[in-house]
Structure formats: structure tokens, C-alpha cells
Amino acid sequence: GDYLYLVMHGAEATARRGKFTSQELDLFLGRTYFITHRSEPIKAVDTVRKRSLELEGFQARGADALLYAVLNELVDSFVSTLESMDVEVDLIEDKLFKHPTTRSLAEIFAIKKDILHLRRVVLPQREVLTRLSRSEFKVITKEIQFYFRDVYDHAFRVADLTDSLRDLVTSALETYLAVVSNRTGEVMKVLTVFS
């Protein structure tokens, strides 16, 4: 009643292109306070903290405005991760047409697994953002509530992008299978001629 407790996740790209790690962030929001808890550094929180210290009046907007800023940064972290994955899929597709290998197949399955993990993280958060954008909670003011609708729209777009990227990876897998099948057919023709 007097406060909200949220568990949200962000995404952080790793050294391998297209790979990411999911980061849990615990958030407590009351009328006059906003507390974050994390077991590892999260770029979104650090960015908002730095902005709140640099911009005059940023913190005066209220605790719910700080929550909005953090959630907005978290959702944006998914967008940059998806863009990195998209680049990785393009590179894999290029490799498939030039010279398909079993390593390419392993890369396809790895990125497909990452996309599915990202989707499992994003979809539940979309529901949380839906509830924040309605008038369900006393600790969120009417003027900030509209900002949560914007974050929800971004999360919805991220979910759509994961679906699109999943379809791209599936088509890359089909391309791999078609190219390998064609090469096998060519080899069989040569072997038939020899026999």
C-alpha cells in the first residue's frame, strides 16, 4: 500500500558480439524515497544517478520520476543488445553463403538461445510496465504515470524486435540447411558419375 517493490532486469552486452547477460535490479518506491539494490554494477542505474547529480532539479521531480528514468534506461539496454544481436545474425548469414560450417550452425543455435532468453526476460516486464502506467498505485503521481506508458511502448517494441530477430535466426538456420543440402547433392552427383 505505501510502497512498491519491483524486480526488473536489464541487459548488458558481453565481449562476444551478440551475447548478453541479464542483470537483476530490485527497486523500492515510496512517496518520498527510491531505493535500488543490485549485486553487480548496472549501467542504467549508474547513468540515472550521474544525471540526477549533474542536472539541477532532477531529483526534485520526485521518487517516481527517478523510477521512470531507471526503467527507461533498462528498456533501452535491451534495444542496444538487440541491435548487437542483429549485427551478429547478419554476419552469420554472410558466412553461410560463403562457406557454411558446423561452427556457423553452433553460432546460430547460440544466438537463438540468447534471443529466447531475452524474450523470457522482456515479456514479464512488459506486464509490470502496463500496471505502472495505469492509476493502480498511490505512490505514482498522475503526471509521471504518462511517462510509464512511453516505457511500456518501448518494451512492447523490444518484444516485437525479439520476435523479428527470432524469425531471422530461423531463416538463417533454414539457409544453412539448404546450402548444406545443395552441397551434398553436388557431391552425390560427382560420386554417382565416378561409380
pLDDT digits (tens, 9 = 90+) for 148-162: 999 999 999 999 998
- pLDDT over 80 at 127, yes or no: yes
User: Which is higher by pLDDT, 1 or 40?
Assistant: 40
User: Which is higher by pLDDT, 13 or 192?
Assistant: 192
User: Checking DSSP bridges between strand 3-13 and strand 20-30, what pairing results, if any?
Assistant: antiparallel
pLDDT-based confidence at residue 16 (cuts at 50, 70, 90): low
